[in-house]
Amino acid sequence: MKKHYRILVIGGGTGGIMTAAQLKKKDKNLEIGLIEPADTHYYQPAWTLVGAGTYDYKKTARPMASLIPAGVDWVKDYAVSLKPEKNVVSTKKSGDISYDYLVLSPGLVNDTSLIEGLTEAIDKGVVCSNYTDPEHTWKVLQGFKGGNAVFTQPTTPIKCGGAPQKIAYLAADYFRKKGILKNSNVIFATPGTVIFGVQKVKETLLKVIDRYGMHFRPYYAPFKIDAEKKIIYFKYTAPEDKRVAIKEGNKIGETINEKDVISMPFDMLHLAPPETAPKFVKDSSLVNDAGWVEVDHHSLQHVKFANVFAMGDVAALPTAKTGAAIRKQVPVVVDNLLGLMKKEGIKNHSYNGYSSCPLVTGYGKMVLAEFDYQNNFTPDPKLKQMLIFDSSKEHWRLWMLKKYMLPYLYWNKMMKGKKV
């Protein structure tokens, strides 16, 4: 096995595979190594649909070996430490590997220890998560007979920040179809301050919440789960001028104490687990105080180490962590790597924070939230031309895009380094 590569990529997810594939298309002679321990690559955006019983989990998985681009060396191993001062990555079994250029796209890791009781509760009984076991979520939905269906998310950044509310809408629609919505309280509790940061999309989602009679609870930061008693505890973080009184004997049965701790009973609970950068990233000299890789927001080059780039979930970028963001980030990284190797320097500063969140609002309905660093609604021109309608409103065509077209584009275009 080689001990040095011109370009070393860490991560066999969307960003890593796309970068390696696009680089090979530009220059087939490039010596590229890709570090990734997993045997299977998952198309995780479809897990929302799996959790609602409308997508086959098996179709979200493909062998990693089938996706590694031709001519790229697959280092099937774990990265355990980064030494950018020496241009070296240490691995679990293969020892040290050096590089001329490093691309970091290892994704996030779930850290259930950050919410008390979650490690013991997750994916058991009526506690579920599309982030960890979407098939269990579907079983929980099918077994729900009424009462409190609570959907929440942690205070940490997470992959696709809209996913915890997508399953809430699908669940509400499923309960409506089963005829039990009238006997249910569907609650979406979030540490955030609004349902969505893009104004046009927010207006649509508030109508969706109203349609299902959902209870929206902002400023609710979950910190503890008692799975045995079926109670979730939140810290209420609303400022004085935004606080809403919690009355005794309310419909949901929530209570608040003098320490601003809210307790809420549940008959089913879905949540996104807290997520962080992998330990080998957090322990490196590449991160900021919050544990994310510090890169220029527009070129994705590291602010201190000029031969290091990071993209996707692990990068300290003030935008949503989604596959759509990576789709726009990869060409910028590829351009800049090629520019550096040709001694032309950084030539692409075009990444504007573009991300998108396909917000499924029911079976057969979806809104497509596309936005930039300033939370401007920024529909992709190609997509806008194809759809010929306002994608900030619900439409069945967007559902078709989510369920059929995006998975096709992912496997057949993005993963093969083709332009999308």
Q: What is the pLDDT of residues 124-140, one digit of tens each?
A: 999 999 999 999 999 99
Residue 15 contacts by C-beta under 8 Å, 6 or more apart in sequence?
103, 105, 107, 311, 312, 326, 329, 330
pLDDT at 116 over 90: yes
Number of domains in the chain: 2
Can you give the residue range of the structural domain that contains 182?
A: 111-274
Residue 380 included in any domain? no
Please indicate, yes or no, whether residues 324 and 201 belong to a single structural domain of this protein: no
Q: Which of 245, 274, 303 is the last residue of a domain?
A: 274
Please indicate, yes or no, whether residues 268 and 128 belong to a single structural domain of this protein: yes
Residue 94 included in any domain? yes
Please indicate, yes or no, whether residues 59 and 142 belong to a single structural domain of this protein: no
Please indicate, yes or no, whether residues 267 and 287 belong to a single structural domain of this protein: no
Please indicate, yes or no, whether residues 44 and 66 belong to a single structural domain of this protein: yes
The token pair at 357 is 């969140």
State residue 19's pLDDT score.
98
Q: Which of 351, 374, 399 is the last residue of a domain?
A: 351
Residue 383 included in any domain? no
Three-class SS string for 59-79? HHEEEHHHCCCCCCEEECCCE
| Summary mean pLDDT of the chain | 96
User: How do residues 339-389 score in pLDDT, each as one tens digit?
Assistant: 999 999 999 999 999 999 999 999 999 999 999 999 999 887 777 666 667
Q: Provide the annotated active-site residues.
A: 160, 357
Residue 420 included in any domain? no
43, 243 Cβ separation under 8 angstroms: no
Please indicate, yes or no, whether residues 44 and 77 belong to a single structural domain of this protein: yes
**pTM confidence score:** 0.96
Residue 239 included in any domain? yes
Please indicate, yes or no, whether residues 252 and 292 belong to a single structural domain of this protein: no
User: How do residues 266-295 score in pLDDT, each as one tens digit?
Assistant: 999 999 999 999 999 999 999 999 999 999
State residue 420's pLDDT score.
80
Please indicate, yes or no, whether residues 215 and 257 belong to a single structural domain of this protein: yes
User: How do residues 209-268 score in pLDDT, each as one tens digit?
Assistant: 999 999 999 999 999 999 999 999 999 999 999 999 999 899 999 999 999 999 999 999
Residue 159 included in any domain? yes
Please indicate, yes or no, whether residues 154 and 193 belong to a single structural domain of this protein: yes
Please indicate, yes or no, whether residues 29 and 165 belong to a single structural domain of this protein: no
> Would you place residue 419 in the very low, low, confident or very high pLDDT band (cuts 50, 70, 90)?
confident
Length of the chain: 420
Q: Which of 274, 305, 332 is the last residue of a domain?
A: 274
Residue 206 burial (C-beta neighbours within 10 Å; 0-12, 13-18, 19+): middle
> Would you place residue 333 in the very low, low, confident or very high pLDDT band (cuts 50, 70, 90)?
very high
Please indicate, yes or no, whether residues 210 and 292 belong to a single structural domain of this protein: no
Distance CA 362, CA 167 (A): 9
CATH code for the domain of 67: 3.50.50.60
Residue 31 included in any domain? yes
Please indicate, yes or no, whether residues 159 and 203 belong to a single structural domain of this protein: yes
Residue 187 included in any domain? yes
